[in-house]
Amino acid sequence: MKILTILGARPQFIKAGVVSREITKRQKKGEKIQEIIVHTGQHYNKNMSDVFFEELHLPKPDYYLGVGSKSHGAMTGEMISKLEEVMIKEKPEVVLVYGDTNSTLAGAIAASKLHIRIAHVEAGLRSFNMQMPEEINRILTDRVSRWLFCPTDTAVENLKKEGFENFYCKIVKSGDVMQDAAIFYKQFAKKPNAEIDSDFILCTIHRAENTDNRKRLNNIFEALKEIAQERQVILPLHPRTKKRLLEEKIDTKNITIIEPVSYLEMVWLLEHSSLVMTDSGGLQKEAFFFEKPCITLRDETEWVELIEHKFNVLAGADRERIMDIYKNFTFNTNYEINLYGSGKASERILRDILK
């Protein structure tokens, strides 16, 4: 069995790492599985150097396509062309894609045109916001995939409502590979090089819906500044956010701004924080994995089960609402509930593919 794994962004390498480790376990037991890893180059910076793969115990890519940053159409088109060449050369039985990036969609399109079976990890997620490029990517990828590995019951129900039970595919509630990763990487956590109080809030802001809207961005930072007067707010600053803050001359007084951190440093920050405030999809789940309450600075989320169980709350970008939630919302503190598979997702995914 030859599996061709397509990755393009840092979170995808972390997700794929747990599945790659499961493949290695099976190889050591004598099972005939080969994994070919392709990095499209969608995201590439110093955090994707050799050190990144060594620190995270990840296999290095067999192919690096070097596509880089472009418009959505140009990027996706170039990826499809280059991935097709790799697939024709390698002749995999299965193409494995993760999440909802342009790399995900390009891999799915290239494989479907060559009649190669596709396995989509994190299938069935929906924000129901078609203005998000990620929403388009995940919907189209789901439609051409043979295996739909859903992290949650909600994701399974989304696919059923869209008629996927009538398509030639297998819907599987696999659990979430990011929980597998959180459990594995906790032992390697690294403290960032910054002055950090014993009680702090971890915050990240990077989504275009916030960074590219001056009113939303200003409202969020007005709330963060007020909160930071009584508790340390640590903000690893995304380059896009940094650029917009400078352009819009938005004040960041009191907020502890640090350079972007590695994944292992982020794990440390998660483990030691008392609250998470973010517009990141992945960080909302990771807050739950590390048993931290989360205020989401968006108007919707794909992780509705966290909202339903009050581990997470949507605050949007309204300053007064953010402050009201911060001061008054009562979060659920019972983290015993199994929402994401308890760290066995990678085993389930491989078991189903190998059948």
Active site residues: 206
For residue 296, list its beta bridge partners: 278, 314
As given in the structure block, the two tokens for residue 232 are 């340390």
Residues 6+ apart with CB under 8 A from 248: 214, 217, 218
Give the up-direction half-sphere exposure of residue 290: CA atoms within 13 A in the CB hemisphere.
27
Cα angle 207-46-76, degrees, rounded to a multiple of 5? 55
For residue 294, list its beta bridge partners: 276, 312
In this structure, which amino acid lies at residue 41? G
Q: List C-alpha distances in Å: 324 to 291, 294, 320, 351.
A: 22, 14, 6, 46
As given in the structure block, the two tokens for residue 292 are 């931290």
Do the Cβ atoms of 122 and 303 come closer than 8 Å?
Answer: no
Helix (H, G, I), strand (E, B) or coil at 104: helix
Do the Cβ atoms of 39 and 69 come closer than 8 Å?
Answer: no
Q: List C-alpha distances in Å: 316 to 91, 175, 275, 334.
A: 46, 27, 17, 25
Do the Cβ atoms of 25 and 187 come closer than 8 Å?
Answer: no
The residue written with tokens 């062309």 in the block is 81
Dump the DSSP string for 114-150: TT-EEEEETTT-----TTSHHHHHHHHHHHH-SEEEE
Do the Cβ atoms of 142 and 123 come closer than 8 Å?
Answer: yes
Do the Cβ atoms of 156 and 142 come closer than 8 Å?
Answer: no
* Rounded Cα distance, 335 and 338, in Å: 8
